[in-house]
Structure 1
Amino acid sequence: MKILFIGSRLYDDIDWYVKSKGVESVLTESNEEAINLDLPDQVFIVPRGMDGPKQVALMQNVDAIVPLIGIDPPLIDVAHMKEEVEKEYDIPVIAAGVRAVELTSNKINTKEFYNDIGVATPDYQILNSPKDLTLDFPVVLKQGEGQGGKDIKIAKSIEDVEEYFGEFDHALCEKFVEGSEISIEVLGFNGEYVALPPIYKGETTLEGTHPLNKVKTGPCMVEGLDNNLVQHTAYKVAKNLASDGIFEMDFMFSKDENQLYAIEVNTRPNGTRYLTTATCGINSLCELVNMAIGEFSLANISDKLQYYYSTEIPIGNYEGSSPKEPVKSFEENDFVVHGPEGYQRVTARANSKEELENLVEKLT
């Protein structure tokens, strides 16, 4: 079995798994100085875009293509390449299709999609001027595209809105929801979907604290919230997107309203994947490989499910003991260190809350 992986930045997360499955790995990357280029069996430096990877896939006669792209802008090009390669060359591409990317890469499209399928989302309006505002303060101002909190502002007054319009000529304006932030991964392939355990990412703040600076925990345990509701809603969203790969969804739960709100969907690997793996034993990136080699199924996921208490803590630079090999796997470790230098995080797991607290104290 030979698989083409697109992008090297995330490849070290799964290199151990690819090798364990006896898969021959071919990787394309546009940056010859990128990390992890020493890990795959073959590496090809190609121009940006999907034409280079497509040509390498055909030249190398690969059995499947697995994009490992963790940012939004290339996803639509990947989706177009997927539809072409699958139709013309019958090579499976484990990624979202064009319709799913178009619905999820633009926050306005996502809002309309939620409304169409009957999933609750915070009240919103499109502003072309501060004078158009009808929602009560505070509100959240966003652009249609962007990730990681980019171009998002919590406005507490009309002056805040006017300041935002000093930089932008329009905004998606959304009611600010006070409550709990939740993420969940859904895996989908060939019409089968499975929602993994929800992850708790902290409480919303008027200061707009970035998720990377918050302590996160799994599984999600929020008073008044049924995790089955989160999983059911996430499954419904993924089923209606009707595509393949990883779907990472963000929700807000308002305790005052007793309401779960859908916020956005990402059709790519995401920042909570380590915590999900720690919590339930399912590694979403490894499951992309399983989709490519024909070993993904709901039954296999069910057989592998585990149950742990887990947490992820931002620590800057980790200086403790090293995890065992493979360092990015929880198969031999109760903690994993990840993230770039200066912004590292430790994700740890244990069989009980008390054991987890003791482990975190030892690591930090």
Structure 2
Amino acid sequence: MKILFIGSRLYDDIDWYVREKGIESVLTESNEEAINLDLPDQVFIVPRGMDGPKQVALMQNVDAIVPLIGIDPPLIDVAYMKEEVEREYGIPVIAANVRAVELTSNKINTKEFYREIGIATPEYQILTGPDELTIDFPVVLKQGEGQGGKDIKVARSVEDVEEYFEDFDQALCEEFIEGSEISIEVLGFSGEYVALPPIYKGETTIEGTHPLNKVKTGPCMVDGLDNNLVQHAAYTVARNLASDGIFEMDFMYSAERDQLYAIEVNTRPNGTRYLTTATCGVNSLCELVNMAIGEFSLANVSDKLEYHYSTEIPIGNYEGPLPNEPVKSFEFNDFVVHGPKGYQRVTARADSKDELKKLVEKIT
């Protein structure tokens, strides 16, 4: 079995699994100084875009293509490549299709999609100027495209909105929901979808604290919220997107209203994947490989499910004990260190809250 992987930044997360499965790995990357280029069996440096990876896939006669892209801008090019390669050459590409990317890569499209399928989302309006605002303060101002908190502002006054419009001509404005932030991964392939356990990402803040600066925990345990409700909502979204790969969704739960709100959905690997793996034993990136080799199914995922308590802590530069090899696998470790130097995080798991507390004290 030979698989082409596109993008090297996330490859070290699955290199151990690719080798365990006896897969011949081919990787394309546009940056010749990128990390992890020493890990695959073959590496090809190609220009940006999807034409280079497509040509390598055909030249190398690969059995499947697995894009490992964790940012939004290239996803639409990947989607067009997927549809062409699957149609013209019969090579499966484990990624979202064009429709799914178009619906999820623009927050305005996503809002309209939620409404169409009956999923609750915060009240919103599209502003072209501050004087059009009708939603009560505080409000959240966003651009249609962007990730990781980019171009997002919590506005508490007209002056805040006016300041935002000094940089932008349009804004997606939604009501600020005070409550719990929740993330969940859904895996989908060939019409089968499975929602993994939800992750708790902390409470909303007027200051707009970035998720990377919060302590996160799994599974999500929020008073008054049934995790089955989150999983059902996430499953409904994924089923209506009708595509393949990883779907990462953000929700907000308002205890005051007893209401779960859908915020956004991404069709790519996400920042809470380590917590999900730690919590339930299912690694979403490894499942992309399983989709490529024909080993993904609801039954197989269910058989892997475990139940742990987990937490992710921002630590800057990790100086604690080293994990076992392979260092990115929870099959061989009870903690994993990830992220670049200066912004590292530790994700740890245990079978009880007390054991997790002791482990965190030991490694931090």
Shorter-chain TM-score above 0.5: yes
1:318 aligned residue: 318
Please say if 1:123 is aligned against 2:123: yes
Name the structure 2 match of 1:110: 110
Match of 1:193 in 2: 193
Map Cα deviations across residues 122-172 of structure 1 (whole Å, 9 max, x no partner).
Answer: 000000000000000000000000000000000000000000000001100
Q: Which residue of 1 aligns with 2:215?
A: 215
Runs of 4+ off more than 3 Å = none
- Aligned residue for 2:139? 139
AA at the equivalent of 2:21:
K
Report the counterpart of residue 361 of structure 2 in structure 1: 361
Give 1:295's aligned residue: 295
The CA distance in 2 between the partners of 1:354 and 1:276, in whole Å, is 20
TM-score w.r.t. structure 1 length? 1.00
Q: Secondary structure at the match of 2:149?
A: coil
In structure 2, C-alpha distance between the alignment counterparts of 1:320 and 1:179, rounded to whole Å? 34
Please name the residue that 2:340 is paired with. 340
Aligned ranges 1:277-288 → 2 under 5 Å: 277-288=277-288
Question: Structure 1, residues 224-250: CA drift from partner, whole Å, max 9, x if none?
Answer: 000000000000000000000000000
CA distances 1:234-271 after superposition (whole Å, capped 9, x unpaired) = 00000000000000000000000000000000000000
* Corresponding letter in the other structure for 1:157: S
Letter in 1 for 2:237: V
Q: 2:182 is matched with which residue?
A: 182
Unaligned 5+ segments in structure 2 are: none
1:11-30 pair list within 5 angstroms: 11-30=11-30
Residue 249 of structure 1 pairs with residue 249 of structure 2: yes
State whether structure 2 residue 271 is matched by structure 1 residue 271. yes
Question: How is 1:77-96 mapped onto 2 (pairs within 5 angstroms)?
Answer: 77-96=77-96
Paired position in structure 1 for 2:349 = 349
Q: Secondary structure at the match of 1:249?
A: strand
Counterpart of 1:341, as a letter, is K
Q: Distance in 2 between matches of 1:109 and 1:42?
A: 39
What per-residue deviation string (whole Å, max 9, x for no partner) do you get for residues 258-298 of structure 1?
00000000000000000000000000000000000000000
C-alpha distance in structure 2 between counterparts of 1:281 and 1:362, whole Å? 22
Q: How much does 1:319 deviate?
A: 0.2
Give the fraction of aligned pairs with identical amino acids, expressed as a percent.
Answer: 87
The one-letter code sitting in structure 1 at the alignment partner of 2:343 is: Y
**Which AA in structure 2 matches 1:28?**
T
Q: For 1:223-242, what aligned pairs fall within 5 Å after superposition?
A: 223-242=223-242
The corresponding residue for 1:71 is 71
Alignment match, 1:158: 158
The amino acid that maps onto 2:60 is Q
TM-score computed with the length of structure 2 as normaliser: 1.00
Query: How far apart are residue 363 of structure 1 and its match?
Result: 1.0
Aligned equivalents of 1:333, 1:301: Cα separation in 2: 20
Equivalents in 2 of 1:14, 1:332: separation in Å?
13
The 2-side partners of 1:304 and 1:139 are apart by: 41
Q: What letter matches 2:11 in structure 1?
A: Y
- Residue identity opposite 1:214 in structure 2: K
CA distance in 2, matches of 1:330, 1:112: 38
Equivalent residues, number: 364
Q: 1:69, CA displacement in angstroms?
A: 0.1
Residue 207 of structure 1 aligns to a residue whose secondary structure is coil
Root mean square deviation, CA, Å: 0.2
Residue aligned with 2:43, SS:
strand
Query: Secondary structure of 1:337's match?
Result: strand
SS in 2 for 1:253: strand
Q: Distance in 2 between matches of 1:36 and 1:2?
A: 18
Amino acid at match of 1:104: T
Quick one: which amino acid aligns to residue 234 of structure 2? A
